[in-house]
Amino acid sequence: MKVLVSDNLADSGIEKLMSVPEFEVEVNTSLTKEEFQQIIKEYDALVIRSATKVTADVIEAADNLKVIARAGIGLDNVDIEAASKRGIVVMNTPEGNVITTAEHTIAMMLSLSRNIPQATQSLKVGKWEKKRFRGKEVFNKVLGIIGVGRIGRVVADRAKGLKMHVIAYDPYISTEVIDKMGIEGVALDELFARSDYITVHTPMTQETRNILNAEAFAKMKKGVFILNCARGGIVNEDDLLKAIESGIVAGAAMDVFVVEPPKDHPLLALDQVIATPHLGASTDEAQENVATAVADQVIDYLLRGTIRNAVNAPNIDGAVLARLRPYLTLAEKLGSLLAQITRGAIQEIAIEYVGEVTKEDTQPLTISILKGLLTPILGDMVNFVNVPVMVKERNIKVTESMRTEAEDFTTLINVSIKTSEERNLVAGTIFGKKDPRIVRINDFRMESAMEGNLLLIYNIDTPGTIGAIGTCLGRNKINISMMDVGQVLERGQNIIFLQTDSVVPKEVVQELLAMENVNVVQTVKL
Ligand SMILES: NC(=O)c1ccc[n+]([C@@H]2O[C@H](COP(=O)([O-])OP(=O)(O)OC[C@H]3O[C@@H](n4cnc5c(N)ncnc54)[C@H](O)[C@@H]3O)[C@@H](O)[C@H]2O)c1
Ligand SMILES: O=C(O)CC[C@@H](O)C(=O)O
């Protein structure tokens, strides 16, 4: 079997792959796009980091490819949907670089406080500028952490060692779990108002994109320091620039950028900004961890068929997988829909399987529902293997029940959720042999394939409202490709589902919300 390593991988991983007699391993990190597309058809496995772009064209040409394995977490460089369509397993290694990235954040925070990069630069050109580079202690200061998952909680632990007061905002982690970390859970606005340093450790999702923007900077203490060692775009770069120029933000440390490399980005011209070229995970130890993990995973899959850390396939036999595929798609969709329409920290999930589906092994379906549920919150970090652990870590109670007697549909999957703020229920079925359909959201019944960019609008049922919504979207150049309206007469309420050709921006959502008779507007991506 042929394995191509097309990005820099630590030697330990390459040696491990080369030690397998059945493997022929090629390491080539300088392929052009054309060369890559031409040779990929020879390979059974592709091992990458973030530099190789595995586009739909590459996947189309990859006749023998069985697995794409990422040493690290981020899969923004892989067209996962195209890979899934061709039955190629996509896997990553989400655990290996947690400590390294947390340590980088602490290093950035101290460098920022003591102007270490700027002072080094100045000294190297022969200057001795003691006065210019007077810094600040972190002792007794408030560190606000947005997102206390794997990396955020290690940052919290290390910052406590520096005797900082740590406060955190993470709406998907229960107060008890945050309390156990020995830090203080707060609302986002409180974090903005109290922090001397703010660091983000969330994945990039619809919700976290631009979470630190002009509106957020306006709520912060004058002189706050900002750190982003997570993903470019969680901090809005233009707004950060203005906040530094206006003096609200005293300085920023950036490891990640919207466009990487950022080239001559104006932020980099500011004295108050220190930056590293996406080095968060770049230590010998982390690179060894992810390289050996990725090699072990590729070996396990190609030699034994065991799938670990796959983002697009549960660990089940191929024939069963083919039969369950429509149910798995439906299950993941139900979980994802629930996550996107529900606010608050998840406490309980109740899953009910009804009718035909009860003849199948429902365990992979439950895992798919949970993966669908956590992916909008955690992004690429969630896979079919680690999702049960993540659910456990978050203290989420999962219950399953079966009913063989179906009523309206031959198969039905009901999923309900209870969070710290609300309860919701969604249900779905399979039309024909393979078409997943959402048939219920709370009290509203419908039959919808629900795909792509969706808008869910709850409105008072009055003449003209639907027209006004269409006009507003049209004015903002958003094309509607599908519309479905559910009506609950006794409540005088409509639920409108709109499928749009493009994502509906936040400002347009606000515009819709300001309309008379419109109560709730939610954007969903399925
Ligand atoms: N700079 C680097 O080289 C590097 C290396 C590794 C990871 N990362 C990035 O670091 C980030 C964190 O990784 P992790 O392994 O800790 O992830 P994780 O999944 O373990 O934790 C993410 C946390 O963010 C929380 N969250 C999600 N949406 C939120 C929101 N709207 N507000 C507040 N909290 C929210 C989640 O509940 C979760 O607890 C990711 O973006 C990852 O890609 C960067
Ligand atoms: O250096 C890398 O490979 C990227 C590290 C990190 O952002 C990841 O996605 O794992």
Nearest ligand to the CA of 98 is: 1
Does one domain contain both 237 and 256?
yes
Q: In what order do the strands lie in the sheet with 197-200?
A: 184-185, 165-169, 142-146, 197-200, 224-228, 249-254, 273-275
Find out whether the beta carbon of 289 lies less than 6 Å from any atom of ligand 2: no
Probe ligand 1: pick from 175, 201, 212, max atoms within 8 Å of CB? 201
* Domain with 406 in it: 316-442
450 Cα–ligand 2 center, Å: 32
Two tokens, residue 369: 């529902």
Task: Give the per-residue pLDDT at 490.
Answer: 60
Does one domain contain both 233 and 296?
no
Q: 199 lies in a domain?
A: yes
Does one domain contain both 459 and 393?
no
Does one domain contain both 417 and 339?
yes
Tens digit of each residue's pLDDT (9 = 90 or more) over 135-172: 999 999 999 999 999 999 999 999 999 999 999 999 98
Does one domain contain both 26 and 109?
no
Tens digit of each residue's pLDDT (9 = 90 or more) over 299-315: 999 998 788 888 887 76
**Active site (annotated) includes residue 265:** no
* Contact present, 160 and 332 (Cβ < 8 Å): no
Does one domain contain both 68 and 123?
no
405-444 in b/e burial notation, b at 16+ Cβ within 10 A? eeeebebbbbbbbbbeeeebbbbbbbeeeeebbbbbbeeb
Does one domain contain both 386 and 487?
no
* pLDDT of 520 above 80: yes
**Active site (annotated) includes residue 165:** no
Atom of ligand 1 nearest to the CA of 73: 43
CA atoms of 357 and 359, how far apart (whole Å): 5
Give the distance between the most distant pair of CA atoms in the chain: 83
Task: Give the per-residue pLDDT at 449.
Answer: 82
* pLDDT of 232 above 70: yes
Q: 310 lies in a domain?
A: no
- 389 vs 251: which has the higher pLDDT: 251
CATH of the domain at 390: 3.30.1330.90
Domain boundary among 427, 442, 457: 442
Q: 460 lies in a domain?
A: yes
Q: Given pLDDT bands bounded at 50, 70 and 90, which one contains residue 386?
A: confident
Q: Given pLDDT bands bounded at 50, 70 and 90, which one contains residue 235?
A: very high
CA atoms of 491 and 460, how far apart (whole Å): 9
Task: Give the per-residue pLDDT at 318.
Answer: 62
Tell me the average pLDDT across 32-57. Answer: 96
Coil, helix or strand for 371?
helix
Q: Given pLDDT bands bounded at 50, 70 and 90, which one contains residue 448?
A: confident
Atom of ligand 1 nearest to the CA of 255: 1
Q: 384 lies in a domain?
A: yes
Burial class (CB in 10 A: 0-12, 13-18, 19+), 507: exposed
Alpha carbon distance, N-terminus to C-terminus of the chain: 36
Total count of domains within the chain: 4
Does one domain contain both 88 and 105?
no
Q: Given pLDDT bands bounded at 50, 70 and 90, which one contains residue 491?
A: low
Coil, helix or strand for 485?
strand
- Give the type of residue at 20: V
Phi, psi of 422, deg, nearest 5: -160, 175
Tell me the average pLDDT across 240-245. Answer: 98
CA atoms of 19 and 11, how far apart (whole Å): 12
149 Cα–ligand 1 center, Å: 6
Find tokens 């200057």 and name the residue: 127
Does one domain contain both 295 and 323?
no
Does one domain contain both 161 and 297?
no
Q: CB-based contacts of 187: which residues, under 8 Å, 6+ apart?
A: 169
Two tokens, residue 6: 């097309």
Atom of ligand 1 nearest to the CA of 146: 33
Residue 129 zone, left/alpha/beta (φ > 0; ψ -120 to 50; rest): beta
* Contact present, 226 and 240 (Cβ < 8 Å): yes
* pLDDT of 432 above 90: no
Q: Given pLDDT bands bounded at 50, 70 and 90, which one contains residue 429?
A: very high
- Give the type of residue at 39: I
Task: Give the per-residue pLDDT at 144.
Answer: 98
Q: Given pLDDT bands bounded at 50, 70 and 90, which one contains residue 408?
A: confident
What average pLDDT does the structure give for the chain? 93
Nearest ligand to the CA of 339 is: 1
Atom of ligand 2 nearest to the CA of 278: 1
* pLDDT of 317 above 70: no
Q: 311 lies in a domain?
A: no
Find tokens 């000294």 and name the residue: 123
Q: 466 lies in a domain?
A: yes
Q: 309 lies in a domain?
A: no
Could you tell me the sign of the dihedral formed by the alpha carbons of 489, 490, 492, 497, in that order? negative
* Contact present, 348 and 307 (Cβ < 8 Å): no
464 Cα–ligand 2 center, Å: 50
Coil, helix or strand for 63?
coil
Find out whether the beta carbon of 144 lies less than 6 Å from any atom of ligand 1: no
Domain boundary among 442, 463, 495: 442
Tens digit of each residue's pLDDT (9 = 90 or more) over 356-369: 999 988 989 999 99
Helix 98-114 to helix 116-124 angle, to the nearest 10 degrees? 60
Does one domain contain both 159 and 43?
no
Q: Across 293-434, where does the E strand assignment appear?
A: 346-355, 397-403, 411-419, 423-431
Find out whether the beta carbon of 158 lies less than 6 Å from any atom of ligand 2: no
Q: 526 lies in a domain?
A: yes
Find out whether the beta carbon of 101 lies less than 6 Å from any atom of ligand 1: yes
Q: Given pLDDT bands bounded at 50, 70 and 90, which one contains residue 17?
A: very high
CATH of the domain at 70: 3.40.50.720
Task: Give the per-residue pLDDT at 497.
Answer: 86
CA atoms of 368 and 357, how far apart (whole Å): 14
Does one domain contain both 390 and 498?
no
- Give the type of residue at 415: V
